[in-house]
Amino acid sequence: MNLKSISEDTYTALRKKCVFPTITKTWINERNAVLTDLASQEVVLCGDGRCDSPGHSAKYCTYTFLDAQSNKVVDFKVVSVTQVSNSNAMELHGFKEALKTIEDDGVHVSTISTDRHPQIVKEMRINNPEKFHEFDPWHVAKGVSKKLTAEAKRRSCEDLGAWIPSIINHLWWCAQNCAEDAVLLKEKWVSVIHHVTNRHDWPGNRHYHCCDHETHFGYDVMVHASMLAALDHNNNVNREQSVGEPKYKTAWSKVHKNFRARPVAVGKDYSYMRVMVADVLSSVNDTRDSGPTQNSACNGSTGKTIQRTNYLTDTSVFPIQVERFMVKLLPCMF
């Protein structure tokens, strides 16, 4: 376009003299405001490190601490590999330096959530025993998912792949509903081995002995339960009001938004079920002689329990996702 531009040297000089100082000033003001908000409370920090490249050849690692309540960055440290013995030691160094800076500025840190980095786990256990150390459920779920995915690639475990999303959802549910009790968390998490085998109650645990969900009914059960409901309705729909002094009961009306009086009818008539009971007993005798018969009422109506979900591109139908820090952190027991 035949337009002149500044040289690389000029760009570098302007960036150093004008841009960088402005960024630094703005960040210091922001950091001071965040620290002021945290000065009078016990703080829960969430920390994680990110390297500039994968593998063991990273040059820089940025370790960041967030406040779990506000989701705001409290502080960070950029560590160069030249500051430590090797690239594997950068995350621990950044963790220690960032935490020290935050505490030196008067913030009382009561709980720290991190990934399961063994060096950081040891650092918390030895040098910070007064602080609660908890694991970020996102990292735990990621690790479990990777291991399950690897196992599902084996020929003998191919069916495991379809279960992985449900297992990970179960892990998030355990983290959200354990009431910060490590024993209850473990019992709920281990119960997944019973869920996948269609067993919904089990003895031996201290707190958690059965599923929290209601009984799951198959398609055929739902069809026949609806048949019974329809029969009960048709045989009792026009019942008379109770004899003697008329009685009424109150019921909430969604239409009128208040309580309404409804007459109390005579008791239900179940005489129609006598014929059904006789048919059932007759069928039992016939089954003993000729073997079970197949009911065709539900044939071809059931589908697979787990099906592939098509990718959706319309953002209007995307569900609201549970954010990472909306879930309680996991007690340090994994």
What are 174-189's pLDDT values in tens digits?
888 888 888 888 888 8
Q: Is the pTM of this model over 0.85?
A: no
Q: What is the band of 167 on the pLDDT scale with cuts at 50, 70, 90?
A: very high
Q: CA 132 to CA 202: how far, in whole Å?
A: 32
Question: Can you say how many angstroms the Cα of residue 5 is from the centroid of all Cα atoms in its chain?
Answer: 52
- The predicted pLDDT at position 207 comes to 80
Q: DSSP state, 306?
A: S
Name the more confident of 213 and 56: 56
Residue 11 has pLDDT above 70, yes or no: yes
Q: Which fold has domain 8-135?
A: Nucleotidyltransferase; domain 5 (3.30.420)
Q: CA 24 to CA 169: how far, in whole Å?
A: 41
pLDDT in tens, 316-329: 544 545 555 455 55
Helix (H, G, I), strand (E, B) or coil at 114: strand
CA triplet 86, 89, 94: central angle to 5 degrees? 125
Residue 304 is encoded by which pair of tokens?
């697979």
- The predicted pLDDT at position 310 comes to 59
Q: What is the band of 128 on the pLDDT scale with cuts at 50, 70, 90?
A: very high
**pLDDT, mean of residues 50-77:** 91
pLDDT in tens, 15-34: 999 999 999 999 999 999 99
Residue 153 has pLDDT above 80, yes or no: yes
N- to C-terminal Cα separation, the chain: 61
**pLDDT, mean of residues 297-305:** 52
Residue 257 has pLDDT above 70, yes or no: yes
Helix (H, G, I), strand (E, B) or coil at 154: coil
Residue 134's beta-bridge partner residues?
A: 113, 331
Contact status, residue 233 vs residue 213, Cβ threshold 8 Å: no
**pLDDT, mean of residues 137-153:** 91
- Of all residues in the chain, the percent with pLDDT exceeding 70 is 80
- The predicted pLDDT at position 291 comes to 59
Q: What is the band of 245 on the pLDDT scale with cuts at 50, 70, 90?
A: low
Average pLDDT, whole number, for the chain? 82
**pLDDT, mean of residues 188-206:** 81
**pLDDT, mean of residues 35-63:** 91
Q: CA 140 to CA 48: how far, in whole Å?
A: 13
CATH 3.30.420 residue ranges in the chain?
Answer: 8-135
Question: For residue 203, how many other CB atoms are within 10 A of its CB?
Answer: 6
Residue whose tokens read 């990273």:
58
